[in-house]
Amino acid sequence: MAGLTVALLTRNPFYLVIACAAAAFVFGVLRQRQSGHTEPTAVAARPQAWQPVIRLALLLGLFTVLFNVLTSHHGRVVLARLPADWPFLGGPLTLEALLYGLSTALNVLALLLVFTVFNSAVGPHEVLRLLPAFAYQAGVALTIAVSFIPQTVVAWQELQEAHRLRGYRRRRLRDWQPLFVALLGNGLDRAVQLAESMEARGFGATTASPTPGQTLLWRTGVIIGLLALLMGLLARAFWPAAESPGLVAVVVGALLVVVVLVRQGRAIRRSRYRRWLWRRRDTAVTVTALIAVAGMIVMARIGEDLLFYYPYPPYDWVPPFHPVPGLLAALLLLPALLMPPATLALTEG
Amino acid sequence: MIALDRFSFRYATATEPILREVSLRLPQGAFVLVIGPSGSGKSTFLRTLNGLVPHFYGGHLSGCVRVDGRDPVQAAPKGMADLVGMVFQDPESGFVVDRVEDELAFALENWALPQDVMRKRVEEVLDQLRIAHLRHRPVSTLSGGEKQRVAIASVLTLHPQVLLLDEPTSQLDPQAAEEVLLALRQLNEDLGLTVVLSEHRLERVVQYADFVLYWPGHGQPPLLGTPAEVLRRVPLTPPLITLGKALGWEPLPLTIKEGRRFAQALKERLHLPVVSQPSATVTPANGREAVVVVEKLWHRYTSGSRGAGIEALTGVSLRVHRGEFVALMGRNGSGKTTLLKHLVGLLPPTQGHVRVVGYETSRVSTETLVRHVAYVPQNPERLLFAETVAEELALSRRGHGLPPDPEADRALLARLGLDHCRDSHPHDLSVGEKQRLALAAVLVPDPELILLDEPTRGLDYVQKHILAELLHELRRAGKTVIMATHDVELAAATADRVVLMAEGQIVVDGPARRVMAESLVFASQINKLFRDPRLLTPEDVLAGLGEGRR
């Protein structure tokens, strides 16, 4: 979580590099521990491959950098020029645009890394178990969606092979159409089977079916709450005079939604199998993570220019560096240092 | 106790009821085997018992059902989960979470049981199904048999009285199927759990069953009785029972052990050719053209594909001549599918050469090769893309760049017994029909080599019989067939050469009769009965008897 905050709050490449390095290190330690086990453990459940993430990040990065350099023509340091009569692309290509693109790419990389680490440390079902009751059903849907992806990839490969076996060469977009249809059909079949299996194992068995009146009440509650929220936000944004009524509307709307969700959640009775063992080092990790988050937020609030980076004029294109945020970003290393060599540990990204 | 009283059910889209006025009673603690052709109502019957029919599928029903006094129609599946556990054909698509232990806890969490109860039940079930060593594993890394045992365990945690299984082994190879069936028998014997199991491989289950419930299909009433009683009246049965029925053995033997007694006495009366004479179709290979030449083939799966880094083939050399029928046998993961894929160019050799019908596979594309080589993959459904059966063949023609020819298509469908469903959607066909339609789709360009991967998976005896007949016909038309299969009986009935693979190598290669007679695992039932290379199928025995009578 702290990693995410860092990645989201700053554009400064120095801090981002530190965060990336920390994430990579934690990931490396995780991997090492996982491969060290002969008997797979819970943590080893999803040994994430390193290369695809990097590849994805590079691809996205390349795209953002190119896009930025080719479309943003502001800046003082001109590297090259394209004919000015080219739509969009024409004009000077500047160092500032390149740097801005690079910092965005770094941002993406940091986000991806943090997600990967989190994912390989904590499985989706573990997150699911931590969710409050009212979010549980949405959570189940999400886990299932995640587990559908690898199965769909396999089905896709098989379908492609099948298409070739029928003598088809795919030249045009239209040739792909039957493949997509078949993939969709296959996905639907699996969804039906899964639904059967869940139903047969009593999914939703203890949910007291709400009366029609209750359902209506909940639905109107959610709708009114969301409307109030939206109106409050709009009022605050576009109508400065209505700031305090807007705030009231936001608060009331949010409260209403939460109350309804909690009430709904109470109708679902389920129990949780096996909670995590909370150890002292978990507390340490959580505390440092919180410090990093809080520190970053405080930084962002009081000394905005500390995290600020904007290469275009009038600012300097050399990013500033301040040790405090650097140190905060480095705090993310802690999970790797605290991880015991053999036993299970919960790590917080 | 399970009781149906004048129960009828019709699917919303169907015109005829699939279950008509069914009345039957299954005693508590029984092991009931449910058999019958595809589409006869086996699955519907099973789903009736836990309320998935009608709650999940919808339709019209009348009459009444009771399971232990509870009405599934009223209670709905989620209300039956603590009384009736249901396990499906494909365990993988039923898993919700990805770790074995969490999967087992899923049902318990749904029932909001307290933590200590959950912990206890999960531990118990892990032991009952002997999967404690798998508890932390992601389900996707398990073998087929292990997955199915986890699926069984995941419903047993709620302590149901009845366990329903809908063809739980049809996706498994024989070893894995054995593993699952043994676990079931143990649950039935040790815990007194009522087991209701639908299954095509009678020869594996029939000895465990207390009762057999036969659904003839077409809305006819089911037949319930002891295995011997029912099987006597069922048209297509495993080879041993077929032979027993033909020769009037009493009591009808269900296992090889029981059959041996009759076989000993019979063998004296059999007049068999003195020299073990290979079947007439096997003529010495030399002089005939080799259709398939594989030389020192190695294959290693590269990263990015399934089984990355695995050496699936390690120096395989094989020659298959025109008109031969080869059965490729061996454990799962022994390299059968990989070898077949090489023969149609879907995989490039890591090392070595593959020449098929005169083409070096690494030099031509699969799209070119498939005009001469037909390949039906393990999951024939994947091969089907069109909206109707007839359209499926037209699609093949377009794919191969051939002109449309509805007459030829019609003839091909007729040959494969599919002319009655020309306008059906391929998805609505039975497993056997899908299999034959997939075969039809790849037979369109009239290829000379036909490759089949596990063609009998999920087929009932009737469909298997039709397939065997079809393969014989292709042989007579001079085609070369290579078939990867676990089905010993099919191999015995069709193949003249058996190639046995293990760990990416060919271990045994020889005439089917010799290989089968020398093997314990890969021997047909009749061969196990007589242990004579001249006797592989019931037909062999009856022929020998016929000569004796003359």
DSSP letters for B440-487: HHHHTT--SEEEEESTTTT--HHHHHHHHHHHHHHHHTT-EEEEE-S-
Architecture category of domain B290-525 in CATH: 3-Layer(aba) Sandwich (3.40)
More confident residue, B207 or A262: B207
Q: What is the crossing angle of helices A212-238 and A243-267, to 10°?
A: 150
> Which pLDDT score is estimated for A345?
39
pLDDT at A241 over 80: no
Q: Is residue A113 part of a domain?
A: yes
Range of the domain at A228: 212-267
> Which pLDDT score is estimated for B197?
95
In the predicted model, what is the mean pLDDT of residues B9-30?
91
pLDDT above 90 covers a percentage of chain B that reads: 53
User: Does the interface ipTM go beyond 0.90?
Assistant: no
A190 interaction partners in chain B (CB closer than 8 Å): 93
Q: Tell me if B239 sits within 8 A of B489, measured CB to CB.
A: yes
Which residues, 6+ apart, have CB-to-CB distance to A264 below 8 Å?
A134, A210, A218
Which residue among A249, A267, A285 closes a domain?
A: A267
Calculate the alpha carbon distances from A105 to A54, A63, A67, B189 in Å: 12, 9, 11, 63
- Is the minimum CB–CB distance between A170 and chain B shorter than 8 Å? no
> Which pLDDT score is estimated for A248?
84
Point out which residues pair with B22 in neighbouring strands.
Answer: B7
> Which pLDDT score is estimated for A175?
76
Contact call for B370 and A167, based on CB within 8 A? yes
> Which pLDDT score is estimated for A339?
56
In tens, the pLDDT along A178-200 reads 888 888 888 888 888 888 888 88
In the predicted model, what is the mean pLDDT of residues A8-26?
69
Contact call for B108 and A163, based on CB within 8 A? no
Contact call for B399 and A166, based on CB within 8 A? yes
In the predicted model, what is the mean pLDDT of residues B302-322?
80
pLDDT at A333 over 70: no
Q: Is residue A258 part of a domain?
A: yes
Among the listed ranges A39-48, A282-291, B11-20, which one has the minimum average pLDDT value?
Answer: A39-48
Contact call for A205 and B111, based on CB within 8 A? yes
Same domain (yes/no): A253, A299: no
Q: Is residue A345 part of a domain?
A: no
Residue of chain B whose Cα is closest to the Cα of A177: B385
> Which pLDDT score is estimated for A102?
83
- Predicted confidence band of residue B163 (pLDDT cuts 50, 70, 90): very high
Same domain (yes/no): A105, A239: no
Choose among A155, A166, A205: nearest Cβ to B110: A205
Same domain (yes/no): A109, A155: yes
Q: Is residue A221 part of a domain?
A: yes
DSSP state of A176: G
More confident residue, A318 or A110: A110
In the predicted model, what is the mean pLDDT of residues B464-484?
93
In tens, the pLDDT along B500-536 reads 999 999 999 999 988 988 888 888 899 989 888 888 8
Choices 3.40.640.10, 3.30.930.10, 3.30.360.10, 3.40.50.300: CATH for B2-234: 3.40.50.300
Q: Is residue A189 part of a domain?
A: yes
> Which pLDDT score is estimated for B303?
59
More confident residue, B464 or A21: B464
CA distance B335 to B341: 10
In tens, the pLDDT along A64-112 reads 888 877 777 777 777 777 777 777 677 777 888 888 888 888 877 777 7
Same domain (yes/no): A225, A144: no
More confident residue, B87 or A332: B87
CA distance B282 to B481: 14
Listed ranges A61-65, B55-59, B475-479; the one with the highest mean pLDDT: B475-479
Same domain (yes/no): A147, A49: yes
Q: How far is B354 from chain A (nearest CA, A)?
A: 18
pTM: 0.77
Same domain (yes/no): A251, A331: no
Helix (H, G, I), strand (E, B) or coil at A295: helix
B137 interaction partners in chain A (CB closer than 8 Å): 40
DSSP E strand stretches across B210-324: 211-214, 223-225, 290-300, 311-321
- Predicted confidence band of residue B213 (pLDDT cuts 50, 70, 90): very high
More confident residue, B480 or B113: B480
pLDDT above 70 covers a percentage of chain A that reads: 62
In the predicted model, what is the mean pLDDT of residues B31-50?
91
> Which pLDDT score is estimated for A308?
63
Alpha helices by DSSP H, B217-255: 227-232, 239-246
In the predicted model, what is the mean pLDDT of residues B249-258?
89
A204 interaction partners in chain B (CB closer than 8 Å): 78, 110
pLDDT at B2 over 80: yes
pLDDT at B541 over 50: yes
- Is the minimum CB–CB distance between B510 and chain A shorter than 8 Å? no
Same domain (yes/no): A233, A282: no
pLDDT at B198 over 90: yes
pLDDT at B196 over 90: yes
Same domain (yes/no): A166, A251: no
- Predicted confidence band of residue A275 (pLDDT cuts 50, 70, 90): low
Listed ranges A26-40, A56-70, A89-103, B397-411; the one with the highest mean pLDDT: B397-411
Q: Is residue A343 part of a domain?
A: no
> Which pLDDT score is estimated for A49?
58
pLDDT at A36 over 50: no
- Is the minimum CB–CB distance between A270 and chain B shorter than 8 Å? yes
Q: Tell me if B451 sits within 8 A of B343, measured CB to CB.
A: yes
Listed ranges A10-14, A118-122, A124-128, B354-358; the one with the highest mean pLDDT: B354-358
Contact call for A165 and B383, based on CB within 8 A? yes
| Cα Rg of chain A, angstroms | 25
In the predicted model, what is the mean pLDDT of residues A245-262?
82
Q: Is residue A344 part of a domain?
A: no
Same domain (yes/no): A251, A279: no
CA distance B287 to A109: 65
Locate A42 and state its tokens.
């819970």
- Helices and strands counted in chain B (H then E): 21, 19
More confident residue, B297 or A321: B297
Which residue among A267, A285, A303 closes a domain?
A: A267
Q: Is residue A286 part of a domain?
A: yes
Report DSSP letters for A241-292, one per residue.
GGHHHHHHHHHHHHHHHHHHHHHHHHH-----S-PPP--HHHHHHHHHHHHH
In the predicted model, what is the mean pLDDT of residues B321-329?
94
More confident residue, B269 or B131: B131
User: Structurally, how many domains does chain A consist of?
Assistant: 2
> Which pLDDT score is estimated for A42?
38
Residues in chain B: 550
- Is the minimum CB–CB distance between B395 and chain A shorter than 8 Å? yes
Listed ranges A55-69, A270-284, B124-138; the one with the highest mean pLDDT: B124-138
- Is the minimum CB–CB distance between B49 and chain A shorter than 8 Å? no
Which residue among A222, A241, A267 closes a domain?
A: A267
CA distance A136 to A251: 24
Q: Tell me if B479 sits within 8 A of B494, measured CB to CB.
A: no
In the predicted model, what is the mean pLDDT of residues B257-278?
78
Same domain (yes/no): A262, A150: no
Residues 189-248 of A with CB under 8 A from B: 189-190, 193-206
pLDDT at A336 over 90: no
B2-234 matches B290-525 in fold: yes
Same domain (yes/no): A169, A39: yes
pLDDT at A120 over 80: no
Same domain (yes/no): A108, A189: yes
- Predicted confidence band of residue B298 (pLDDT cuts 50, 70, 90): very high
In the predicted model, what is the mean pLDDT of residues B407-432?
89
- Predicted confidence band of residue A267 (pLDDT cuts 50, 70, 90): low
In the predicted model, what is the mean pLDDT of residues B141-157?
90
Domain ranges for chain B: 2-234, 290-525
A189 interaction partners in chain B (CB closer than 8 Å): 93
Choose among A42, A157, A167: nearest Cβ to B136: A42
Contact call for B110 and A190, based on CB within 8 A? no
B141 interaction partners in chain A (CB closer than 8 Å): 40
- Predicted confidence band of residue A46 (pLDDT cuts 50, 70, 90): very low
Residues 127-156 of A with CB under 8 A from B: 128, 140, 143-144, 147, 150-151, 154-155
pLDDT at B542 over 70: yes
